[in-house]
């Protein structure tokens, strides 16, 4: 009999690998015999043993046990041997799977191998929760492009700054700490040159423990000052400037000398940085997730291109007034009214955090 509480435990275990397994999935596994857990494991880091192997090592003798695992066990040789072989040799009797692996190299084949060896298999248990947990992996493995989360800190009236070029602290410390935690879970953090000029951000992880993401600045003409924090620390934190052929060669040389990678994208018939080409290039570099932190121009371009997969709105209990107050989007440049599907609302300190998705989205976005 399938018991969902064991799958929920596997999902809980999988969270232990968040931010450490990219571009691989988050996976948790639980081994059960006679209604009792005898072994647990999760995929702890990329290149390390998979969840099933860690659970087998934790349990010892597992003959006749049932396996609860969030993702279909792999059947191919990668950085580690296939899990299906180890599970069959260990003698498990049944495998209860959260979701079939969307990776075309695996999808359904792991289940087939287990069944051929006499292991009973059931799949689709708490699949919705597992798919949500692995939304980054699903997008990346199906499209070759990173999952993009747009993060916006704004006032009640949708403003992100008092005026253009002025750094404005919107949210409280609890929300800021949540953003730093998110940065540590993503492969890259992306901003436009306007944000660098206005805020001079570090774009690092400071308020919590965690790794720094790659810093990605998008600028058509490489208009970032050499004294900016992202340039001064480029040798300590990987920093990429995505720009165009409009960048003066001497500017590119100086930035490269400072440790910034200058990535020239686009063709003469494309105005500005080709964002589709940028996403494809990031995917080739195995960058599977990007947190987009503005500003309004880049937010608008990414949303209009259909390249945003998810939104996190941090809304502070304040109003910013004045003709120069900036919206988080350049609405006059939008060709359609964006609609959002709210997934959750949470209070973070004095602020609200709204998790939302674009209503018109697909896991296999591949349009230009």
Q: Which residues participate in catalysis according to the annotation?
A: 52
Q: Which helix (H) or strand (E) holds 133?
A: helix 127-133
Spell 214-241 as b/e; 16+ CB within 10 A means b: bbbbbbbebbbeeebbbbebbeebebbb
What one-character DSSP code corresponds to residue 331?
G
CA 256/CA 248 separation, integer angstroms: 13
DSSP string covering 267-281:
-TTS-S--HHHHHHH
Q: Which helix (H) or strand (E) holds 37?
A: strand 36-42
In DSSP terms, 42 is beta-bridged to 28
CA 336/CA 331 separation, integer angstroms: 9
CA 244/CA 250 separation, integer angstroms: 14
What lies within 8 Å, CB to CB, of 185 at 6+ separation is 18, 19, 210, 289
């Amino acid at each position: 009999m399938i018991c969902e509480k064991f799958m929920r435990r596997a999902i809980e275990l999988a969270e232990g690998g968040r931010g450490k397994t990219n571009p691989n999935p988050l996976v948790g596994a639980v081994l059960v015999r006679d209604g009792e857990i005898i072994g647990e494991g999760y995929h702890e880091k990329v290149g390390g043993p998979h969840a099933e192997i860690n659970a087998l090592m934790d349990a010892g003798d597992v003959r006749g046990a049932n396996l609860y695992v969030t993702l279909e066990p792999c059947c191919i040789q990668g950085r580690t041997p296939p899990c299906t072989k180890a599970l069959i040799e260990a003698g498990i009797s049944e495998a209860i799977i959260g979701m079939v692996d969307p990776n075309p190299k695996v999808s359904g084949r792991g289940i087939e191998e287990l069944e051929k060896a006499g292991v009973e298999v059931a799949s689709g248990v708490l699949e919705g929760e597992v798919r949500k947990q692995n939304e980054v992996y699903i997008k990346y493995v199906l499209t070759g492009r990173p999952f993009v989360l747009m993060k916006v800190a704004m006032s009640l009236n949708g403003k992100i700054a008092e005026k253009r070029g002025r750094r404005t602290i919107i949210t409280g410390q609890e929300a800021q700490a949540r953003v730093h935690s998110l940065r540590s879970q993503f492969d890259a953090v992306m901003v436009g040159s306007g944000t660098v000029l206005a805020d001079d951000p570090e774009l690092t992880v400071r308020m919590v423990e965690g790794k720094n993401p790659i810093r990605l600045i998008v600028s058509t003409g490489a208009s970032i000052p050499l004294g900016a924090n992202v340039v001064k620390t480029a040798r300590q934190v990987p920093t990429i400037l995505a720009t165009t052929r409009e960048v003066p060669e001497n500017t590119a040389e100086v930035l490269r000398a400072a440790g910034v990678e200058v990535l020239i994208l686009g063709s003469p018939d494309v105005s500005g940085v080709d964002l589709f080409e940028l996403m494809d290039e990031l995917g080739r570099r195995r960058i599977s997730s990007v947190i987009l932190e503005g500003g309004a121009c880049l937010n608008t371009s990414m949303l209009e291109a259909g390249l945003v997969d998810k939104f996190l709105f941090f809304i502070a209990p304040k109003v910013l007034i004045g003709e120069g107050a900036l919206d988080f989007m350049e609405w006059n440049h939008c060709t359609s009214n964006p609609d959002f599907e709210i997934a959750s609302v949470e209070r973070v300190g004095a602020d609200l955090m709204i998790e939302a998705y674009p209503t018109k989205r697909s896991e296999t976005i591949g349009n230009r």
